[in-house]
A and B are shown apart, each in its own frame.
Chain A
């Protein structure tokens, strides 16, 4: 497996190599890795990469998965346009 070709964060195009480099540099929490690599800052807010990063941290540091905190979940839960906010939320199917 070429860790340069494995994408962990699809929104921000962050590779497995970048995640592992960050952990080796001493960033051993999901929140820190988010800030160093931008993983989890895209539209899905880490819904995909958060767990994958936690797993990498667990494997590289030996810390059990259940002790690794995931990133903070921030509102809004899904992307919403400014227009939807100002006019009241309109569901995609209603248009």
Chain B
């Protein structure tokens, strides 16, 4: 392991690896990435693997569509051989009230301004796309055929491989113990394998980001929350798009290998680092899934697990430098959407660290909370 670096990135999930690759691509030398376990062992490897462009705010639509462009050309852009299992069979967003449908209409106007090919559907048209869908109580739906799925492990490893090829040193199973500072300036990172002196530290540690930043004596307005998910046995392909409802509170899709993967946003879940599975989740999920897609009743659940959402005050990412400490940067608070936004976030963070003009016209800095510029995204699970 190097004992001196230009930039140390803490966190080997998809965001950390994307940042590492994009920094190296910009020509930054001596970038070192630290991961306490294996790559994608945290939130990335536990996520629902969906990639969608149907958002309600312009900047989310922009980041998502730019990220989708990178997913679409992943092997060419990164110059690697790794199949990320991109499946673009759409996201079907379900509306169960007129109010929800009105919101979808407004969102589509925003999406169209960025050429995202979303459309509004009647319940009958939704059923033409998903023949097993229960359309009882359904008022309408929004659909974007270019949304879909990608494999989070392969995407993370793809970024890591490309970053290493450009000179980034990746240290797995290396735990950060302290961030050393002096006169409000970062001086280096202490790990269980030694000290690395560096000018800049980027924290992209998912659910543990606030703990890492605390090592430098700072508090971030983010917290972590358990979200559960399950996967079924693999069966023949019967469901093309990701099904998602904000009001019925569910997401469910069939992966390219034939397994269904699904989850919902927990209610009254306290902030914690709990990653245990619960029987309550299995029971509620079973009821939700079989109501939405009745033929699923005969399919077997083979595995359930949990991961951490890292949640910010407006449930939008924080991709920012930290003004109180020279040389400290964070990419956190993804609130469940880190995987699908990671390609664009890596580019943004590389701009911020190198002091270049931002590639995308977005506001994701930490100071927005002090300025009162809260981003109101209507479309989150």
Contact = CB atoms under 8 A, between A and B. Distances in A.
Interface of A: 27, 29, 31-32, 35-36, 38, 41-43, 45, 72, 74-76, 79-83, 85-86
Interface string B284-320: 0011011000001111111111000000000000000
B300 A43 contact: yes
B97 interface: no
User: A-B pairs with the 8 shortest C-beta distances?
Assistant: A79-B300, A85-B286, A83-B297, A35-B153, A82-B286, A74-B303, A32-B38, A86-B286
Interface in B28-55: 38-41, 45
Contacts of B287: 86
A61 B305 CA distance: 30
B290 A86 contact: yes
Contact of B290 (A29, A36, A42, A83): A83
Contacts of B282: 75-76, 85
Nearest to B287: A86
Where chain B touches its partner, the secondary structure class is: mixed
B42 to A, nearest CB: 12
Contacts of A32: 38-39
B257 A79 contact: no
B233 A43 contact: yes
Nearest to B153: A35
B40 A75 contact: no
Where chain A touches its partner, the secondary structure class is: loop
A38 B234 CA distance: 12
B191 interface: no
Contacts of A42: 233-234, 302
B283 interface: yes
Contact of B153 (A36, A72, A74): A36
A75 B285 CA distance: 14
Contact of A79 (B45, B153, B233, B289): B233
Contacts of A80: 300-301
Given A81-B297, A83-B290, 6 more contacts: A41-B303, A45-B302, A80-B300, A80-B301, A82-B299, A86-B286
A81 B283 CA distance: 11
B181 interface: no
A80 B41 CA distance: 26
